[in-house]
């Protein structure tokens, strides 16, 4: 199963969409097309899918002043996926949904905005925000995030711009420990060095981050 987000199109009248493809023998076919409400939405900016393919998360970032971003939750019913929830941040933030991640079992969701990583946990048929993970420094701009398969560890990365030197720093957070309340700080910093001596040479460093499901020996 493959999930592909298409937040924009050459056709100005088209509506952003997310395509769900499944393999049929040696080829891939579109099983379902998920669409946003209007072409102004940046629906499909980010996507994530649980390991069993039961749960799909779609980030829907908005352009100001159109409102705050959301994350759409789709759950499989039969051969199709139906929207069951819309997740929102603790405050109006149009960047909410810029990156989304989901645990292997689909029970924990991480949604990134410019100021933090927001952890949601499923309780029965509803979703509750368990924590907001914020970096140790107040001036950083978070750029991407990842969630471990069991939903216990999140990694957030940020742009660190000082003068003409740009790099990225990694922050490791335990979403399990953070469930006691919002606004929790990372448990550690990965301490990745700044790269290059100009913003151009460092602009691609740590553009994405992933977590393995086990620790290599």
| The predicted structure's pLDDT at residue 137 | 59
| The predicted structure's pLDDT at residue 4 | 92
Task: Assess contact for 81 and 28: CB atoms under 8 A.
Answer: no
C-alpha to C-alpha distance for 12 and 76, rounded to whole angstroms:
30
Low-confidence spans in the chain with pLDDT less than 70: 8-14, 37-41, 63-66, 136-141, 159-209, 211-217
C-alpha to C-alpha distance for 145 and 147, rounded to whole angstroms:
7
Query: What residue has token string 């039961």?
Result: 54
φ/ψ of 177, rounded to 5, equals -70, -30
| The predicted structure's pLDDT at residue 124 | 87
Domain-located, residue 214: no
DSSP lists the bridge partners of residue 21 as 2, 30
What the block records as the tokens of 154 is 């999140």
| The predicted structure's pLDDT at residue 13 | 60
Nearest CA to 31 among 81, 82, 74? 81
Domain-located, residue 217: no
Task: Assess contact for 90 and 182: CB atoms under 8 A.
Answer: yes
Domain-located, residue 7: yes
Domain-located, residue 15: yes
C-alpha to C-alpha distance for 63 and 1, rounded to whole angstroms:
30
CA dihedral 24, 99, 168, 175 (to 10 degrees): -100
Domain-located, residue 207: no
Report the CATH number that the domain containing residue 141 is assigned in CATH: 2.130.10.10
What the block records as the tokens of 136 is 């140790």
pLDDT digits (tens, 9 = 90+) for 49-105: 999 999 999 998 876 666 788 999 999 999 999 999 999 988 878 889 989 999 999
| The predicted structure's pLDDT at residue 53 | 95
Total domain count for the chain?
1
Domain-located, residue 32: yes
Domain-located, residue 56: yes
The pTM score is 0.78
**Domain extent for 115:** 2-202
Nearest CA to 77 among 100, 60, 53, 44? 53
Sign of CA dihedral 203, 204, 209, 212: negative
Looking only at the bridges linking them, the beta strands covering 42-49 and 55-61 are antiparallel
Domain-located, residue 212: no
């Amino acid at each position: 199963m493959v999930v592909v987000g298409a937040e924009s199109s050459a056709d100005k009248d088209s509506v952003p969409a997310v395509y769900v493809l499944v393999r049929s023998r040696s080829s891939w076919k579109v099983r379902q097309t998920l669409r946003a409400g209007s072409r102004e939405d940046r629906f499909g900016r980010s996507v994530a899918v649980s390991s069993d393919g039961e749960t799909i998360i779609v980030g829907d970032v908005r352009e100001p002043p159109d409102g705050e971003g959301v994350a759409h939750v789709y759950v499989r019913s039969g051969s199709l996926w139906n929207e069951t929830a819309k997740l929102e941040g603790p405050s109006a933030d149009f960047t909410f949904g810029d990156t989304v991640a989901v645990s292997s079992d689909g029970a924990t969701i991480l949604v990134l905005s410019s100021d933090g990583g927001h952890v949601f946990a499923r309780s029965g048929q509803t979703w509750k925000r368990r924590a907001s993970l914020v970096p140790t420094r107040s001036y950083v701009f978070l750029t991407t995030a990842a969630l471990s398969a069991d939903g216990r560890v999140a990694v957030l990365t940020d742009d660190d711009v000082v003068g003409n030197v740009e790099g990225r720093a990694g922050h490791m957070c335990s979403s399990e420990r953070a469930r006691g309340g919002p606004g929790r700080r990372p448990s550690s910093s990965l301490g990745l060095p700044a790269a290059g001596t100009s913003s151009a040479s460092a602009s691609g460093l740590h553009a994405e981050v992933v977590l393995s499901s086990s620790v290599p020996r």
